[in-house]
Structure 1
Amino acid sequence: MYRFLLTPRWFGINVFVLLAIPFCIFMGSWQLSRFEDRMAASRDAKQQVAIDVREAARPLAELLPVDQATSGKQVTATGRYDKQLLVPGRQLDDREGFYVLTLLRTDGGKALPVVRGWLPGTASAAKAPAAPKGEVTVTGALQASETPGDNGVSAQGGLPAGQTSAISAASLINLVPYGVYDAWVTLNTADSGMKAVPATAPADSGLNLKAFQNLGYTGEWFVFAGFVVFMWFRLLRREVEFARDAALGIFPDDEEQDRERSEEKAPV
């Protein structure tokens, strides 16, 4: 009854199944390992942020450009505060508020965005304390430029003058006539009674959407493997039924003719 398994058609089906199942399992296991790597990276990033705060601050030039290795490191820079902006819609300790962002004009001519602190409530220039005058030296955690979607950052648009949604050179370069570093600093000790903004882990180092996409792909690949097994058994069962009917002298055409005769004889 199972001699049909030796036919070329079934040889091809069996080879496909034998290759497809290990491939699906391998891909599912790989996606699962990617999810586990991101979980481990999330834990390591949080631990590294705590370690970076205790490290000695280094000059800004030594830590640029910002990457996952330098993000969160303690940095020091000297210059004069210039233009001040507000960054609305930022939460701290489960409260809604805004950042006070001031551009530090360095000796090199470019400006370093400095988050001097956080204030609760609606963003208002009247609430934000003025920046210190004269030359200052700031110390804080170095952060990579934000993009829409990072840490809840929304797209730019519809904000009043003097406000920005993302702390990035791309957003700030249009607001000032000089160059802006593609990085920013959050002070360890906030100015003028504001609350200090803690450093955050680098982008793509935590449990973000990509991590859960890996978990979803894991499930999909294992489902594909199960579907291949299900279809193989379904085809096998169908072929066995055909073989059994053929052994009894019953063919699909005969069954169709018997069904048509029954329908003709049925009372209307």
Structure 2
Amino acid sequence: MYRFLLTPRWWGINLFVVLAIPFCVFMGSWQLGRFEARVDSHQEAEREPSPDERKAVPLDELLPVDTKTSGRHATATGVYGEQFIVPGRELDGKRGDYVLTLLKTDGGRTLPVVRGWVAEGGRVPAAPAGEVSVTGALQASENAGTDGVHTAGGLPSGQVGMISAASLVNLVPDDVYNAWITLVEADHGLAAVPAASVEGSGLDLKAFQNLGYTGEWFVFAAFVLFMWFRLMRREVEAIRDRELGLEPDPV
């Protein structure tokens, strides 16, 4: 009765099932692994002091920026140079701009420094003159997926949509750090910009999306197996009906 499973049509169905189920299980396991990695990262971060509780150290000791150094307080000394506005950034539910000033460090490279946040239409204070020493939370360069980033282009002169070496390389002749800091204590007239959490770590929405995708892939695997069993049962019932004369043989 089950010889129909060896027909060309059922060979195709069986091959699809044999390939689809392991693929769904693999993808579900991979998503589960990503979720577990985020849980481990979160637990490790919980065991260690928060970045702002640790002693500030010179900038170059924390580079390149990674999950362990992001948010750490870094120090740098130099002279402020060109200044830009980063528009469309929210702080405490209010819309405004970041004030981004480039610090020409004693080492010769230029460090983007967010001196603070100002409400839309607010007055932007000039940067302090002369040599300054700054302390700020270290941040990785932004990308197109970072919240608040302006990628549409067409910004007026003096504005940048993204804080990154790539966005500044054509605006200044200096060698720009592939990182930036946000001052722990904003300059007078500005509000301090808190450090962003490390992307891809912790139990954020994306972590639980991984867990949701895990369930979806395993459901897909179960659905494929269910549909194969249902089709097989229908075929068996059709054969039995034909044997009993309840259904005419297919032409």
After superposition, the C-alpha distances for 1:224-255 in whole angstroms (9 at most, x for unaligned) are 2232223222222223223323432466347x
Distance 1:6 1:170, change over 3 A: closer
Preserved CA contact (<8 Å) 1:49 1:201 = no
CA distance in 2, matches of 1:231, 1:18: 13
Q: What does 1:149-228 align with in structure 2 at a 5 Å threshold? A: 149-155=145-151, 157-205=153-201, 211=207, 214-215=210-211, 217-228=213-224
Distance 1:103 1:16, change over 3 A: closer
Partner residue in 1 for 2:70: 71
**Contact 1:144–1:184 (CA<8 Å) still a contact in 2?**
yes
User: 8 Å contact 1:49–1:72 — kept in the other structure?
Assistant: no
**Partner of 1:53: helix, strand, or coil?**
helix
Distance 1:142 1:150 in 2: 16
Tell me by how many angstroms 1:147 deviates: 1.1
Q: 1:133 and 2:129 equivalent?
A: yes
SS at match of 1:101: strand
Partner of 1:92 in structure 2? 91
Structure 2, unaligned runs of 5 or more: none
Of Structure 1 and Structure 2, which has the larger fraction of its residues in helix? 1
Deviations 1:73-127 (A, max 9, x none): 11110001111111111111111111111111112222111111111124x6xx1
- Pair 1:55 & 2:54 matched: yes
Contact conserved, 2:113 with 2:181, CA < 8 A, in 1? yes
Alpha-carbon distance between aligned partners in 2 of 1:121 and 1:49, rounded to the nearest angstrom: 38
Kept in 1: contact 2:137–2:182 (CA 8 A): yes
TM-score by length of 1: 0.78
Whole-angstrom CA distance in 1 between matches of 2:13 and 2:95 = 60
Kept in 1: contact 2:242–2:248 (CA 8 A): no
Q: Could you tell me how far apart the structure 2 residues matched to 1:188 and 1:195 are? A: 10
Report sequence identity in percent: 61
In structure 1, list runs of 5 or more residues that go unmatched: 257-268
Q: How many residues align?
A: 249
Match of residue 35 from structure 1: 35
Aligned equivalents of 2:34, 2:20: Cα separation in 1: 21
In the aligned structure 2, how far is the partner of 1:165 from the partner of 1:189?
A: 23
Quick check: 1:156–1:164 contact (8 Å CA) kept in 2?
no
Structure showing greater radius of gyration is: 1
